A and B are shown apart, each in its own frame.
Chain A
Amino acid sequence: RSDRSAHAAKPTFAMSSDNVSISTDFSPELRVLRDSKEEPQLLPKESVQDMAKDVTYICPYIGALRGTLTVTNYRLFFKCMDREPAFVLDLPLGVVSRVEKIGGASSRGDVSYGLVCKDIRNLRFAHKQMEDSLRKSIFEILMKCAFPVSNGLTIFAFEYGQVYPENGWKVYDAQAEYKRQGLPNESWRITKVNDHYELCDTYPSTLVVPVNIPDEELKRVAAFRAKGRIPVLSWIHPESQATVIRCSQPMVGVNGKRSKDDEKYLQTIMDANAQSHKLFIFDARPSVNAAANKMKGGGYESEDAYQNAELVFLDIHNIHVMRESLRKLKEVVYPNIEESHWFSNLESTHWLEHIKLILAGALRIADKVESGKTSVVVHCSDGWDRTAQLTSLAMVMLDGHYRTIRGFQVLLEKEWLSFGHRFQLRIGHGDKNHTDADRSPVFLQFIDCVWQMTRQFPAAFEFNEYFLITILDHLYSCLFGTFMCNSEQQRVKEELPKKTVSLWAYINSQPEEFTNPLYVNYSNHVLFPVVSMRHLELWVGYYIRWNPRMRPQEPVHQRYKELLAKRAELQKRVEELQREVTNRSASSSSERAGSPTRSITPVQTFV
């Protein structure tokens, strides 16, 4: 069983070099050679910053391990040679959220350091106090390298110079995606009004708006919407023409301000869909929070002002509640799970309840569009967190294209990256300020929701669990430029496509790793997940993956892969035989050789 095929073993080394470097297939000899070394296999432009021997890693599962710690400008690498096979800890510095010295020097002269990580684990190291007090401890180096932004260093993504066969930055082309949806059409046009991000600096340059609304009016609508995030089309139903529209909250304020332009605009959106004389406005927030926003000038659409529109609150909580929920979840799952009250503990984190609310919201949106043939407008406060979760999930439910490997990349590029989900702020790449209130696992929740759907519809997605885990790993790794910055404007300004590599370049260079062997392409099939707690479960493969007890010895998809391989092998044999038969009959040879079928190993793996 090679490392390559067993991906369940991989998360331990989820971001190790052999995942990303192009020469992934080391020959066995090379592997041995590499294993015997104490430093990591370096990526292009990666350089060792410091190395320390006799560092102790206090593993919560195995116990204390003594080995060599290496810090590069990309990763932290610990290797303990005392064990067979050698124990390796290999993580990108990007996942480190904070480094802290625990206690003072003990009597034995040991200093202890704790690393809090963004990927649901904490690491603890101990090493001897430096005798030479002038020399910096490796952990001081670590603190510097782990937070390049705070220390005036460059994020590694800008240095990493790996060349991949495909330019991942070209995966998403807004025009092409809208064309796939059948846009522009008689009701919808593509506008260049935001070409230089003047209308809205957090929106993409390409926007789809109703044909009847000229650019000048768009600007007036922008004045009434928070941060100028006007209602624009995200998705259109190929048959009913019902649309999914996203925006930010209207600036209603305490006095109940109205905007004739905004009202007319939403009316136009409704009119663009001949199937329905109604428009649903989904406000992702709990109604209390939406009302509270009026104090700050925001608010929600009143049904008096917006005729034929029905406002629905989806009760999804804000980023602070979600952050707190994840913190609690981490306490429950890491490092060990308390056996006796597992479910009560899980419930007390509310994590799955939040997941349920988000999925339920997306389900209602998808249901209105699909079953009700009605257009929907989705917003929260700014329309870049909960709104992105809802529209993208609804689109996964409605459109099978987004369930393919490439389609999902397009979906992320479109609904999350181009529409300005503030990745830099929410993740805090390279920033040491770990208490920043802007950090929140909004994107993680979305991926979790997608995972829940893949559990319920195991054959409906082209990608597998490992694909989702890889995306989350590189959300933090800072190896690729994909999740850098807060908006399209910033990415253009920073010239990310020129200076960094896209995650999609890596993923698309080995799609077989990320393919679900059981994928069935149901065309035009809408998925309605069941959003009951009965069917939601904690994503063990992500949140509890560091616990070796929870790791399956053989991932079940391994068997499916074997099955597919068997099929391919048999197909080949049949073809060979057919060729042979034709050859034989052509030469009309009378000699009869022993049947080649004799040598075929029978299919024994199943009944």
Chain B
Amino acid sequence: MIETFGIKLICSKNSCLSPVVCLVVSVSCRLCLVVSCRLCLSPVCLLSSVCLLLSVCLLSSVCLLSSVSVPSTGEVVFCSASTVLKYTQDDLSQRGVFGVLLCTNFRVSFVSDEAPTEEMGQLFKNKLYGENDIPLSCVDNIYGGSEDKRKLITGGLVKNKYPSKMIIHCKDLRVFQFSLSFSKEEDAKKIFQGIVHHCLEPKSLRCLFAFSYCENTSYPEAQRKKQTVMFDSVEDWTQDMKRTKGNCRVVSENSNFELSPKLPQYFIVPKNVSDEDLTKYQGKGLPMWCWSHHSGCALFKTASIPLVQEDNVPQTYMEKMLTAVAHNHLYSVKTEDLSDTLPTVQDILLSYNRFKQFFLIDNTTEFWMSDMKWFSSLDNCGWLDIIRQCLQKAVEVVESLEKENTNVLIMEEGGSDLCCVVSSLVQLMLDPYYRTLLGFQSLVQKEWVAGGHAFLDRSNHLHLKDKVESQSPVFLLFLECVWQLQQQHGPAFQFSETYLTVLSDSIHVPVFTTFLFNNDGHRDSLLRAESPHTQRSPLNCPTVWDWSVQFDCKAQDLFTNPLYTEKPKQDTSVRKSYRPRHLRQLSLPSSAFKTPPKKGFFKDEADNLKKILGVKRLSRWMLSPSSDSPQTSSSVREFYEAWQTKPLDYHGLLLPCLDGPSIRVWMQRYLRWIHDVQILGGGPVAMLSKVSEILGEVQELQRQLDRHGCTLTSNHKGARPRAKTAAAVIAARSSVRLSSSFPFVTSRNWSFKPAIPTSLLQSLMVTGMAGNLADREDDGGPESLV
């Protein structure tokens, strides 16, 4: 019914155009077109939509368009140009492939004129976009090039001039170079303007593809619900608190955002927080429960209140909140203001922008030139150091919880950036549940989505000028930290490196509600407003955890780590609950540094003590921010060393090594598209495929055993099929044909030519004393004996 309404609408509004459109786009596409026209607020947007519509009509080869894989419903082609040359990235020669360049409401897409080579590379195909597609929000920068020069395009209307070459840097680090000089001038101009407009100009949230996509796709929500804990109900929060044996108060008063639209729909606060405390300062200063340690102490986070000198009301409120936190366990609390000790979101952005440049490589010469100063460049951009600082801070918090058993309150302005990073890392280190795939997804839901990380502002998908400042890859920073942990303690994680890389890419696919909003309230109001159905039920959009939207089951097998050590299950009855229980015994390497036993603390005594000591102790913590940082750093060192000497338990506490060589570059994510660094026949996949092969053999043997069991006992019906592993996926093919960029780059580019570095000699600046050495003979004759 609604669809027909939509068609009527478009017919009445653009009656002259619709017949032409009909040729190209499907019924559902038209519906979406209406939506986009209706919702694009700026007149420019409307205008361009119309003019792009015209260009659709102008498109000569309709049949060619139909060959474009349009996996998503609700997609509309805005403009296109044929005979565009896409350069091959790997050399300076002007070679490339001709094809059609399109811009839709979802992506920039290049369709090669050459017949698609159906190779085995299709294994890891993303269902939403292909290797020549760039989702609009994935576009990072566009450069216009002519001859040798290239210029950053910052948006705005490009008048009559358009560059002959267009370079697109993507947020997933792909680099595309197109030559427009072979296309019709009119087409070239339009496609250039179209792409620039749709990728760089400010737009309304409603223009994002997710809305047209969701209206035309339905997802069975029930199935998803069963897997990842979404933390969108009282039950989810209650259960997580029970799991960790926490003893706090679940707040459901904000379920309709009555308290504040900025506060999460549901959250947990210390028991002693009263109802009126909840609404003061718009939730600022309110300690939000994150996780409880088995000892009873817990981690809380809060948005700090800017303390104004003359007004001591916030001060009193803050102290009250601290007391509430302290009451949670043994009257102890440690506060950590992350704004003081960690880089700001602007620092993070600046550093990342410098860092990513090392991987956005236009040509081979540039690559090998930058290779010379690779290590010092790494140091100078500071990205790895920021990762180290975050991990270090998390270890400090872990130490407080684990060794000192004190409650910890982390705070920062806003309370939803570095607080999210640190609190999630702490939980990953302490709680093995979060190292499972579903556990990790639940953690992201809990700390980031429900926790109110401003995904929309941080990614600035909308290119709003007033949000440029707030843009920052904070969530990516978190994934980087997780990757470091995973690198150091592989078997402790159920998910794979590939999973993390794909997750980092998915941030820029504007389809998933996970990354589109700033907080619960924001999401709720928008999805409700956009709902095509009744006022009551909000629009049903997929979350990023609906992996089947992007990948088929086989590809999803690559998300799991074949070397993951599953917790041996003692009792089969435990299996009934799909959420692993919180383990009281976290296999602590504790005996060495246990705090003195607190047996003597009876309840009344403790209460008395609290009254006497309370304020002093708190203020002491309050007043000692970073002055003792060298001391804490050495204490972290000791904490790590003490932990390191104990036997490793993958289901217990995990700590990262933070020394220089241990913090590495996430090779898979950053190097996968650079042709010259692809290790053909090598890389981690060589190891993975061998492990998978052995696993396959072990499973086969197990099956054989089961079969024998059947023949002998006959009452034992067929063995339960084992969970699939990457084995099936990779083992079939020889890893000799795969490269270090697996599974992201197909073997199509396979060549036996190795990448020979250019300009070697300049790299070696042997100066001074070494310079003299360089001139000497290999055989230290008698004269050279020192």
Contacts and interface: CB of A to CB of B under 8 A. Distances in A.
Given A382-B778, A437-B780, A560-B691, A357 B565 contact: no
B736 A438 contact: no
B708 A553 contact: no
A567 B713 contact: no
Contact of A535 (B679, B723, B774): B679
A75 B371 CA distance: 43
Contact of A320 (B660, B679, B736, B773): B773
Interface stretch (A13-21, A119-127, A364-372): A364-372
Contacts of A573: 701, 705
Interface string A317-334: 111110111000000000
B755 A606 contact: no
B780 A438 contact: yes
A545 to B, nearest CB: 12
Contact of B644 (A460, A549, A577, A604): A549
Given A437-B780, A438-B780, A563-B691, A460 B682 contact: yes
Nearest to A386: B778
Interface stretch (A177-185, A301-309, A594-602): A594-602
Residue of A438, A593, A606 contacting most chain B CB atoms (<10 Å): A606
Contact of B756 (A357, A364, A577, A605): A364
Interface in B734-786: 734-736, 740, 752-757, 760-761, 763-764, 766, 769-770, 773-780, 784-786
Contact of B752 (A370, A533, A535): A370
Nearest to B687: A458
A315 B756 CA distance: 14
Interface string A334-363: 000111111110110010111011001001
A83 to B, nearest CB: 11
A318 B776 contact: yes
A360 B761 CA distance: 12
Nearest to B436: A607
Contacts of B566: 604-607
Contact of B661 (A518, A534, A537): A537
A436 interface: yes
B776 A337 contact: no
Given A319-B778, A324-B769, A553-B647, A353 B694 contact: no
B641 A548 contact: yes
Nearest to B382: A340
Residue of B664, B754, B776 contacting most chain A CB atoms (<10 Å): B754
A527 B712 CA distance: 49
Interface in B627-666: 640-641, 644, 646-648, 657-662, 664-665
B774 A357 contact: no
A589 to B, nearest CB: 11
Contact of A353 (B691, B697, B708, B763): B763
Contacts of A459: 686-687, 689-690, 735
A458 B660 contact: no
Nearest to B708: A577
Nearest to A533: B374
A201 to B, nearest CB: 15
A356 B757 contact: yes
B776 A532 contact: no
A532 B675 CA distance: 12
Given A456-B683, A535-B679, A607 B725 contact: yes
A197 interface: no
Contacts of A153: none
A360 B758 CA distance: 10
A594 B379 contact: no
B666 to A, nearest CB: 12
B617 interface: no
A538 B660 CA distance: 11
A532 B676 CA distance: 8
B375 interface: yes
Nearest to B643: A553
Contact of A289 (B375, B657, B676, B774): B774
A607 B88 CA distance: 40
B303 interface: no
Contacts of B371: 532-534
A371 B659 contact: no
Contacts of A385: 778
A460 B379 contact: no
Contacts of A535: 667, 671, 677, 679
Given A457-B681, A522-B681, A567-B697, A315 B661 contact: no
A437 B773 CA distance: 10
B591 to A, nearest CB: 13
B678 interface: yes
B760 A360 contact: yes
Given A435-B786, A534-B371, A567 B694 contact: yes
Interface string A427-459: 000000001111000000000000000001111
B695 interface: yes
A163 interface: no
Contacts of B785: 435-437
Interface string A109-133: 0000000000000000000000000
Contacts of B385: 340
Interface string A180-203: 000000000000000000000000
A5 interface: no
A554 B648 contact: yes
B712 A532 contact: no
Interface in B695-739: 695, 697-699, 701-702, 704-706, 708-709, 711-714, 716, 723, 725, 734-736
Interface string A541-559: 0001001111111101001
B238 to A, nearest CB: 29
Contacts of B491: 556, 559
A353 B764 contact: yes
Residue of A385, A530, A560 contacting most chain B CB atoms (<10 Å): A530
Contact of B780 (A320, A342, A347, A607): A320
A532 B375 contact: no
A275 B758 CA distance: 27
Given A436-B780, A438-B780, A554-B648, A520 B660 contact: no
Contact of A595 (B388, B657, B709): B709
A162 interface: no
B681 A563 contact: no
Given A324-B769, A525-B681, A296 B379 contact: no
A568 B644 CA distance: 31
Contact of B698 (A286, A552, A566): A566
Contact of B375 (A320, A346, A570, A605): A346
B600 interface: no
B695 A343 contact: no
Contact of A371 (B689, B697, B753): B753
Given A436-B780, A522-B736, A549-B644, 8 more contacts: A315-B764, A459-B690, A518-B690, A533-B375, A535-B667, A537-B664, A594-B713, A604-B569
The 8 closest A-B pairs by CB, nearest first: A437-B780, A342-B660, A528-B754, A597-B709, A320-B773, A570-B701, A347-B375, A533-B374
8 contacts: A289-B775, A363-B756, A456-B740, A528-B754, A530-B679, A567-B701, A597-B716, A605-B565
Interface of B: 367-368, 371-376, 378-380, 384-385, 388, 488, 490-491, 494, 560-566, 568-569, 640-641, 644, 646-648, 657-662, 664-665, 667, 671, 676-684, 686-687, 689-691, 694-695, 697-699, 701-702, 704-706, 708-709, 711-714, 716, 723, 725, 734-736, 740, 752-757, 760-761, 763-764, 766, 769-770, 773-780, 784-786
Interface of A: 1, 286, 289, 292, 296, 314-315, 317-321, 323-325, 337-344, 346-347, 350, 352-354, 356-357, 360, 363-364, 366-367, 370-371, 380-382, 385, 435-438, 456-460, 518, 520, 522, 525-535, 537-538, 540, 544, 547-554, 556, 559-560, 563-564, 566-567, 570-571, 573-574, 577-578, 581, 584, 592-598, 600, 602-607
